[in-house]
Amino acid sequence: MEIDKKVLQVLNITKKFGDGCPVCRENKEILIKNYCPHCQTIYACRNISFDLYEGEILGVVGESGSGKSTFVQCLYFDQKATNGEAYLSNYKGGRTNALEVSNQEKRYIKDYIMGMVYQNPFLGLKMNFSAISNVAEKLIAGGSRNVGNIKEISNNLLDIVNIENFRRNDNPSDFSGGMQQRLQIAKALSNNPPILFLDEVTTGLDLSVQANVLDLIKKIQRDLKISMVIVSHDLGVIKMLADRTLVMLNGEIIESGLTDQILEDPQHAYTQQLVHSLL
Ligand SMILES: Nc1ncnc2c1ncn2[C@@H]1O[C@H](COP(=O)(O)OP(=O)(O)OP(=O)(O)O)[C@@H](O)[C@H]1O
Ligand SMILES: [Mg+2]
Ligand SMILES: [Zn+2]
C-alpha cells in the first residue's frame, strides 16, 4: 500500500497581538472570543497544527475573525508567528523549521515552494504593472532568465486561467474581481510550487464568477496535483473543493476530518450550526 506523502507539517502556530498578562496566560477560559479583557491582547490564532499531503485540498472554514488569514499569513511569512513550527518536505528534507530560517531562505521558499492567492488582490498583484508582467516578474524571481521562455510560460499560465490575449497588456487595476483572482492564481502557479494557499479566493465575487473560479481551481488541482490549503468562511466552497477540512472558531481548530464526514456528522455545536445553515 502506498502511504500518502506529507508535504507540510504544521505544529502549534500561535499568533498574538499584545504581550498577554498573567491572567490570560494561565487561563484561556477568560478570553472573550479571542480577546483578553484584562490586557487587551488578541489571540488571533492558537496552537494550529495539521498535516498537508501531496495532491490534497485541505479546507479551512470558520467565521470572520476566527484566525484563518492570520495562520496562513504566518505560514507564508507575511506575519511573524509568535510560536510554532512548519516543516516542508521540499525544503531541507522537512527537517528544518521554516518559520525560523533567514529572510533570504524565506524568500527562496516563497519563490519555489509555496504560492499564495490573497484575500485582497492588492496584496498579491502589482496593480500598475500589466497582467503579463505580474506573472513574468514572479518567474524572474524564481530564476528564469530567457525572455522568450518567460513570455511563453506566462502566456501558457494566462491561458490556463482564461485571461484573454487582448487583456494581457492591461493593468489588473482595470480587471474585474474574478479576473484579478484568476491572475493571482496564474502568478502563484508560475514556478510550479508544490503548495498553494488560497485565502477567500471567491469571496465578494458574484455567484456565476465564483463557480467559474472554483471550477478553475479544481481543474488545476487535478491537472497539476498541487497540494492546496483553501480558506473560506463559506462552507459551500469548502464542500465543493476540500478533501479534508479544519473548522476554526475564536483562533482555534475545534474540529477536523474528512469533509464528507464533517458535513454528515458534525461534532461541535458551531460546526453543526454551520452545516445546518448550508441546508
Ligand atoms: N494587525 C493586527 N492587530 C491586531 N489584531 C489583528 C491584526 N490582524 C488581525 N487581527 C485580529 O486577529 C483576529 C483574526 O483575524 P483574521 O484576519 O485572521 O480572521 P479571518 O478568520 O481571516 O477573518 P475573515 O473571514 O474576516 O477574513 C481578528 O480578531 C482580528 O481583529
Ligand atoms: Mg481572512
Ligand atoms: Zn491578558
Boundaries of domain holding 235: 1-99+231-279
Each residue's pLDDT tens digit, 2-52: 567 999 999 999 999 999 999 999 999 999 999 999 999 999 999 999 999
Q: Which of 35, 68, 238, 246 has the most ligand 1 atoms within 8 A of CB, as the residue to mutate? A: 68
d(CA 16, CA 25): 11
**CA 70 – CA 259 distance, rounded (Å):** 22
Residue-wise pLDDT for 215-240, tens only, equals 999 999 989 989 999 999 999 999 99
Sign of the Cα torsion 86, 90, 96, 102 reads negative
> What is the reported pTM?
0.95
pLDDT at position 109 is 97
48 is a domain residue: yes
Query: Is the Cβ–Cβ distance between 225 and 53 less than 8 Å?
Result: no
Question: Is residue 205 one of the residues assigned to a domain?
Answer: no
Q: Which of 183, 69, 177 is nearest to 124 (CA)?
A: 183
pLDDT at res. 3: 66
In DSSP terms, 140 is beta-bridged to none
Q: Which string of b and e fits 215-233 if b means at least 16 CB within 10 Å?
A: ebbeebbeeeebbbbbbbb
Residue whose CA is at the smallest distance from ligand 1 atom 10:
44
* Inside any domain, residue 264: yes
Q: CB neighbours of 10 closer than 8 A, spacing ≥ 6?
A: 48, 49, 50, 51, 52, 71, 75, 84, 85, 86
Distance 263 CA to ligand 1 centre (A): 26
For residue 136, CA distances in Å to 120, 157, 189, 268 come to 21, 10, 11, 45
87 neighbors 120 (Cβ within 8 angstroms): no
User: Is 40 within the bounds of a domain?
Assistant: yes
Read off the DSSP letter of residue 3: P
Q: What pLDDT score does 2 carry? A: 57
Instruction: Say how many Å lie between the CA of residue 44 and the centre of ligand 3.
Output: 13
| Mean predicted lDDT score pLDDT of the chain | 95
Distances (CA, A) of 94 to 76, 196, 215, 272: 16, 17, 32, 36
**Cα 82 to middle of ligand 3, angstroms:** 15
CA-to-CA distance for 45 and 24, rounded, in angstroms?
14
> What is the strand order of the sheet 227-232 is part of?
114-117, 195-199, 227-232, 57-62, 244-249, 252-258
Nearest ligand to residue 24 Cα? 3
Evaluate: CB of 103 within 6 angstroms of ligand 1: no
Banded model confidence at residue 207, pLDDT cuts 50, 70, 90: confident
> Rounded CA gap, 133 and 113, in Å?
21
- Provide the domain count of the chain: 1
On the question of pLDDT at 172 being above 80, the answer is yes
* Nearest ligand 1 atom, CA 73: 18
Torsion of CA 134, 144, 200, 121, to 10 degrees: -20
Asked whether residue 212 is assigned to any structural domain, the reply reads no
Instruction: Say which CATH number the domain at 271 has.
Output: 3.40.50.300
Binding site membership of 73 for ligand 1 (Cβ less than 6 Å): no
Ligand 1 in contact with 15 (CB < 6 A)? no
Residue 237's CB: how many other CB atoms inside 10 A? 23
Residue 125 to residue 155: CA distance in whole angstroms: 17
Q: Which residue has the cell 479571542?
A: 34
